[in-house]
Every structure is written in structure tokens, then in C-alpha cells.
A = this chain, B = another copy of it.
Amino acid sequence: MGNTFGQLFRVTTFGESHGGGVGVVIDGCPANIELSEAEIQRELDRRRPGQSKITTQRKEEDQCEILSGVFEGKTLGTPIAVLVRNKDARPEDYSEIAEKFRPSHADFTYEAKYGIRNWQGGGRASARETIGRVAAGAVAKKILSVLYAEFEIVAYVAQIHEVAAKINRSAVKAKDIEKNIVRCPDATAAKKMVSLIEQVRGQGDSVGGVIECLVRGIPPGIGEPVFDKLEADLAKAMLSIPATKGFEIGSGFAATRMRGSQHNDPFEMRGGKIRAATNNSGGVQGGISNGEEIYFRVAFKPTATIGHEQKTVTSSRQQTRLGARGRHDPCVLPRAVPIVEAMAALVLGDHALRQRATKIADRGLRIAER
């Protein structure tokens, strides 16, 4: 259970790291939207292993095939199924983890839950599962671009271990993100991050960090006010990404040390529109977008797979040690940037459709049309 995300734009992923393949079925995509495999592939390539010297050196091409839902280059309104075949399987690598629970991985909890697990390379808990998310996110971005002329979603690495980037959020441009392999718009910090990751890899260790994400061009009125608040669905989306430990929107945890008189965002008229003078709210008030930039931050733990021997137990309850493991990402953040974007797009695409469904009667203020 739990492999479906979204209410109207509904995404169901499937697949283990080893086996026939991984993929996604997207239900609820509007019809008549141009869509090609190339557009999906572009996003998958940003997520792909082996793309730079600071990622895992496993080679996976992750070539996608659209199985259904697209006809003569346009969406049909029917389910879009996307499949990526698995390759590069080396099951012999996994004989040790068939028996031993890797610390801070999902081996033990899967075994506890299901009484069985595919121990070849992480199975369903493998990061390969996110391929389906990134493919679906590419489709969601298309819809959002059709709906909102100024829509843009930009995620980037804001911090790796102790190296924090200096970033002026409003000046960040999407094209800046891909200028370096760590996907950080602060070039100076980016260099330090790359060095750090290489150094950590050399030590057989790993590091975590923070990804920040900006969403622009969302009009006021998107989101639902109680349980499905925009920030609530974003939080769920982000904490569903492997290796995440925290989420904050707008002022976030820093808000806990502010006073109301500092924190409140006064309204003002600007450019003929009702605008917030400051944006501690992070673009969302009461669960609904207010037309300002939506921004949030996601905490990633250091990769659990490391090149050190570790204490653990076997599935037959014997204390043992797990040997050092290779070919891992010493830091998942550069490859997680497109995943964060994809999950944000899934949330916003879904909420955009939800808002369309119930906008019917005549409106006094018509703010949403601004």
C-alpha cells in the first residue's frame, strides 16, 4: 500500500532495483498536452547515477519508454505508463546483505513488515523507485506551465555538511543550478562542496545537507485549508523521499525564535495587486497560496551506505559485522535536486487541478484572476 500519490493527478510507482524494471502510472493528466519521451528523459538524466565524479559510479542509462496515454505527441487523458528497464544487475554483490541488516537502511523494517524482502540492492527501498517520481514530475511541470504562464520550480543544494551556500533567493535562476555538478547556485560554495564530497568519499564516509526549493508563478488560492494544506502536502511529499529527516517552509524553525510583530507579513498594494511586504509565510497562509514565492527547505541525512565496517545483526538474530561497501553516492543531494522538484510539481499539479474542479460561481473579489 501507499504507492500512490495525489488526489486528481494520481501517480502510482512500481518496481524494485532488481527485476523487470521500475516505472509509474500517471492517472488524471489532462488531455491534449504535448508530451514526449525526450522531455521525461531530460529530467531522468539529472537523476541518473554516474552523471559526475561526485555521484555513485554505477552506470545506469535509465532509458524511459512511454507505454500508454500519449498519441501522436499529445496526452490522451488516459493513464500514462512509463517504464524504465533495470540493467547492470550484479546479484552476487548482494549475498552478504541477504543475511545481514544494513544499519539505517530499510532491510530490517521490510523484513519486520513483510516477512520477505528483495535483498538485491535495496529492492523497493532503493533510490531507483524515485525514477517513477521524476518521470511523473516532468509531466506535472508541463501541466503547470500550461496553466500558469510564469510557473517555475527551482531546487538547489543550499548546504552540504558544514558548507552553507550564500543565496539571494529572489535572484536565483533555473539555469544557474546546472552550472556545477553539485547543483548549488553559489559558485564559491559549490567548489567547497565538491571538494568536501570527494574528500569524504576518499574516507569511505558520507555527508548530508539541505536542499532548498522555490516555486514561482502560483496564483493566490491554490491549496486546501485543513488537512490538505499546501505546506502539509509538500511536507509529506518531501519526507517521502528516501534519506530525508526534516522540512521547513518560509521562516521555518527560525520562526520559533521570532516575535509576532517581527514575523507577520503586512499586506500592501504593489503593482495593482495585493501583495505581502515580507514573506516569512513562504507563500502560503492557512494552507493556501498567497501569490508570493513558495519556498521550503529539506534536510537529508548522510548516505547510510558507507565504506566502513559496521556492527549489525543477521536475520537469524546473530550479532555480526557488515563489511565496507563500495559504489555508493557519498552524498545524495546533487541527484536529489530533480527529485525534490518532481515531488513539488506533483503536489502543485494536483492542487491546481483540485482548484479548477470547484471554481464555479461568480466571485466578488476575483483575486485569483489577477
Question: Within the assembled complex, what's the spacing in Å between the Cα atoms of A300 and B23?
Answer: 35
Question: Within the assembled complex, what's the spacing in Å between the Cα atoms of A83 and B355?
Answer: 28
Residue in B118, B232, B266 whose CB lies within 8 Å of A103: B266
A56 within 8 Å of B (CB atoms): no
User: Are B245 and A286 touching (Cβ within 8 A)?
Assistant: no
Question: Within the assembled complex, what's the spacing in Å between the Cα atoms of A301 and B224?
Answer: 20
Question: Within the assembled complex, what's the spacing in Å between the Cα atoms of A365 and B312?
Answer: 16
* Chain B hits for A360, CB < 8 A: 30, 32-33, 143, 146-147, 356
Which among A205, A301, A312, A354 has the greatest number of chain B C-beta atoms within 10 A?
A: A301
Binds B, one of A43-51, A123-131, A183-191: A123-131
User: Are B361 and A33 touching (Cβ within 8 A)?
Assistant: yes
Binds B, one of A174-182, A249-257, A334-342: A249-257
A58 within 8 Å of B (CB atoms): no
CB contact list, A23-61 vs B, under 8 A: 23, 25, 27-33
User: Are A240 and B246 touching (Cβ within 8 A)?
Assistant: no
A19 within 8 Å of B (CB atoms): yes
Residue in B21, B210, B276 whose CB lies within 8 Å of A67: B21
* Chain B hits for A315, CB < 8 A: 364-365
CB contact list, A294-314 vs B, under 8 A: 299-306, 308, 310-313
A68 within 8 Å of B (CB atoms): yes
Question: Within the assembled complex, what's the spacing in Å between the Cα atoms of A74 and B353?
Answer: 24
User: Are B32 and A363 touching (Cβ within 8 A)?
Assistant: yes
* Chain B hits for A32, CB < 8 A: 114-116, 360-363
Question: Within the assembled complex, what's the spacing in Å between the Cα atoms of A103 and B285?
Answer: 9
A226 within 8 Å of B (CB atoms): yes
| A259-B207, A280-B104, A358-B353 known; A268+B313 contact, CB < 8 A | yes
Question: Within the assembled complex, what's the spacing in Å between the Cα atoms of A226 and B77?
Answer: 12
A79 within 8 Å of B (CB atoms): yes
* Chain B hits for A156, CB < 8 A: none
| A235-B247, A274-B101, A281-B104 known; A1+B253 contact, CB < 8 A | no
| A242-B286, A253-B253 known; A368+B112 contact, CB < 8 A | yes
Q: Chain B: which residue is nearest A115 at the CB level?
A: B363
User: Are A246 and B245 touching (Cβ within 8 A)?
Assistant: no
Question: Within the assembled complex, what's the spacing in Å between the Cα atoms of A250 and B291?
Answer: 33
User: Are A317 and B108 touching (Cβ within 8 A)?
Assistant: no
Question: Within the assembled complex, what's the spacing in Å between the Cα atoms of A234 and B302?
Answer: 21
Give chain B nearest CB distance to A281 CB in angstroms: 6
User: Are B299 and A248 touching (Cβ within 8 A)?
Assistant: yes
Give chain B nearest CB distance to A291 CB in angstroms: 7
Residue in B113, B245, B256, B368 whose CB lies within 8 Å of A220: B113
| A77-B116, A109-B285, A112-B368 known; A267+B312 contact, CB < 8 A | yes
A-B contact pairs, 14 of them (CB 8 A): A3-B27, A15-B79, A16-B76, A32-B116, A103-B264, A103-B276, A104-B280, A108-B220, A115-B368, A161-B257, A233-B236, A255-B299, A266-B310, A274-B313
Q: Using A147-B360, A208-B255, A246-B246 as known contacts, list a sample of 16 further A-B pairs with CB atoms less than 8 Å apart, ordered by residue number in A.
A: A1-B8, A1-B27, A1-B354, A3-B27, A16-B68, A78-B225, A104-B285, A105-B286, A205-B261, A227-B240, A233-B236, A246-B248, A248-B253, A258-B302, A260-B303, A264-B304
Q: Which 10 A-B pairs have the closest CB atoms?
A: A106-B286, A2-B224, A2-B228, A115-B363, A246-B248, A206-B260, A20-B67, A112-B220, A236-B236, A109-B288
